Amino acid sequence: MKCSIPKGTRDFLPAEMARRNYIFDTIRQVFRSFAFEPIETPSLENLSTLMGKYGEEGDKLLFKVLNSGDFMEGVDFGQDYRKVAAQICERGLRYDLTVPFARFVVQHRDQITFPFRRYQLQPVWRADRPQKGRYREFYQCDADMIGSTSLLNELELVQMIDAVFDKLGISVTLKINNRKVLAGIAELIGAPDKLTDITTAIDKLDKISLDDVRAELRDRGLSETQITALDPVFALSGPAEEKLAQLAQLFANNAVGTRGVEELKELFGYIALVQPRCTVELDLTLARGLNYYTGAIFEVKAQGVSIGSICGGGRYDNLTGIFGMPDVSGVGISFGADRIYDVLTELDKFPPDLGQPAQVLFINFGAESMPYCIRCAAQLRSAGVSALIYPEAAKMKKQMEYANRCHVPYVVFVGENEIASQTLTVKDMATGTQTTVTPDQLLQEILHA
């Protein structure tokens, strides 16, 4: 029988787990220091909760779970497969953390204290075509604050992004935009109904030329006058404050655009106070695919590597509306752990000492020395040191090979002399030096190493 796992899924070996946990622990620690609270939602949601929330394409990519028992009873299999699927599958796997969070907030509104700050680190599943860096099961790391419209929330998200990537040692550029500015631009050129077309096209400005963007706008039905009217927007230059001043003039008679500029001014003012270590840019071409953002939009890219966005987010004013709870504004960010993993690998920025299973290995010389070894190992472990007795009295060479392969820093030898003097002979594997110490001395050395 051949062993394999489904396409697009992964096993994680201990060395990969150590690196992944380093990323998760860093993100979690920052989330906690900003007083976000953890929640978890089930992997399985009712399909009625998920369907229609991610567009037509998303519906196709939902993993559907077959009903238990005789799922065929009363089902007409002469219909289109999509209709059959809806009848034989009531549940599906979580597609993202945002829609389940909205469902959670509405369902538990009476148990939640608003403003509510939650973080969630859980896997999601998408029946996407697997390719490099794209998996069918992957983790999302989300933090959202809900029930407050204050821009202090946006500032805190900026500070969190800055803290996470500073701790990870990745230089990043954080791009910020505001949906209201994009809406203002669409109104300005007399094409408010073409907001999505305009943002989709100008979102590509970092990949294609300005002329190609203009051609795409033409294809999407904008007139030459409208396209030319965009010129002042493309011509904006200078630092964020200057761009915003120029925009404010353009928006002199446009309410939504003016509001967007004011929000950005306030946010950039806050950001100046905290002096983030990352590069923060105002990027009016940033739109992101998601249609539900209504205010700030964030996107983070690592400097010096050609890997896409590693973190993104924004403000949404009506996420819970679809579940019958209107007028709850929220703002959140999502870290892409898999891409961050790729960035750290490419930049060789993982700490070197991750994933060391045992700090101490006791060489097994047979039954006689076991009682003493067992007691010494127990002493180390109860102080939090990871210790291991080689389980068999195997050949010395084999045991030392094991120590090397597992990168154990201290190897302990116990013979008659050590038992008599209640000591341990310890080999420091990094330096090769060998010393005889008491168990307590070894413990102190490890704890203060």
Near a copy of itself in 359-388, by CB under 8 A: 364, 370-371, 374-375, 378, 381-382, 384-388
CB of 419 to a copy of itself, least distance (A): 13
Which positions from 313 through 332 interact with a copy of itself, judged by CB under 8 A? 322-324
Which positions from 137 through 196 interact with a copy of itself, judged by CB under 8 A? 137, 145, 148-150, 152-153, 155-156, 159, 163
Q: Are strands 424-428 and 410-413 parallel, antiparallel or unpaired?
A: antiparallel
* Residue 420 in contact with a copy of itself, rule: CB under 8 A: no
Quick one: which segment of 99-107, 195-203, 234-242, 432-440 binds a copy of itself (CB under 8 A)? 99-107
Is residue 339 a contact partner of residue 327, using CB atoms and an 8 Å limit?
Answer: no
Tokens of 295: 């205010």
Cα separations in angstroms, 17 against 11, 335, 342, 356: 10, 17, 14, 11
Is the CB of 46 or the CB of 435 nearer to a copy of itself?
46
* Residue 108 in contact with a copy of itself, rule: CB under 8 A: yes
* Residue 60 in contact with a copy of itself, rule: CB under 8 A: yes
Q: Are strands 387-389 and 360-362 parallel, antiparallel or unpaired?
A: parallel
CB of 449 to a copy of itself, least distance (A): 16
* Residue 355 in contact with a copy of itself, rule: CB under 8 A: yes
Count the Cβ atoms, other than its own, within 10 Å of residue 236: 15
Total residues at the site for a copy of itself (CB under 8 A)? 105
Quick one: which segment of 8-16, 233-241, 306-314, 411-419 binds a copy of itself (CB under 8 A)? 8-16
* Residue 389 in contact with a copy of itself, rule: CB under 8 A: yes
Is the CB of 273 or the CB of 420 nearer to a copy of itself?
273
Cα separation, 20 vs 336, in Å, equals 11
Quick one: which segment of 11-19, 174-182, 310-318, 409-417 binds a copy of itself (CB under 8 A)? 11-19
CB of 359 to a copy of itself, least distance (A): 8
Alpha-carbon torsion angle 335, 340, 342, 344, nearest 10: 180
* Residue 118 in contact with a copy of itself, rule: CB under 8 A: yes
* Residue 55 in contact with a copy of itself, rule: CB under 8 A: no
Cβ neighbors of 1 (< 8 A, separation 6 or more) are none
CB of 290 to a copy of itself, least distance (A): 21
* Residue 210 in contact with a copy of itself, rule: CB under 8 A: no
Cα separations in angstroms, 193 against 117, 187, 188, 287, 380: 34, 8, 12, 16, 68
Is the CB of 155 or the CB of 344 nearer to a copy of itself?
155
CB of 254 to a copy of itself, least distance (A): 25
Bond from prior residue into 115 cis (ω within 30 degrees of 0):
yes
Which position has the token pair 């413990």?
Answer: 443
Question: Residue from 72, 208, 210, 396 that binds a copy of itself (CB under 8 A)?
Answer: 72
* Residue 402 in contact with a copy of itself, rule: CB under 8 A: yes
Max CA pair span of the chain: 95
* Residue 85 in contact with a copy of itself, rule: CB under 8 A: yes
Cα separation, 142 vs 98, in Å, equals 8
Question: Residue from 22, 54, 95, 104 that binds a copy of itself (CB under 8 A)?
Answer: 104
Question: Residue from 51, 88, 215, 305 that binds a copy of itself (CB under 8 A)?
Answer: 88
Cα separation, 334 vs 348, in Å, equals 23
Quick one: which segment of 188-196, 197-205, 332-340, 350-358 binds a copy of itself (CB under 8 A)? 350-358
Phi, psi of 330 (to 5 degrees): -140, 165
Which position has the token pair 């509510």?
Answer: 116
Strand partners, 330: 146, 316
Which positions from 230 through 289 interact with a copy of itself, judged by CB under 8 A? 270, 273-274
Cα separation, 301 vs 281, in Å, equals 11
Quick one: which segment of 103-111, 214-222, 235-243, 440-448 binds a copy of itself (CB under 8 A)? 103-111
Quick one: which segment of 34-42, 242-250, 291-299, 336-344 binds a copy of itself (CB under 8 A)? 34-42
Residue type, 422: Q
CB of 15 to a copy of itself, least distance (A): 9
Strand partners, 173: 279, 301
CB of 156 to a copy of itself, least distance (A): 8
Cβ neighbors of 162 (< 8 A, separation 6 or more) are 174, 274, 276, 277, 278
DSSP 134: B
Count of positions (residues) in the chain: 449
Inter-helix orientation angle 370-382/439-447, to 10°:
30
The three-state secondary structure class of 204 is: helix
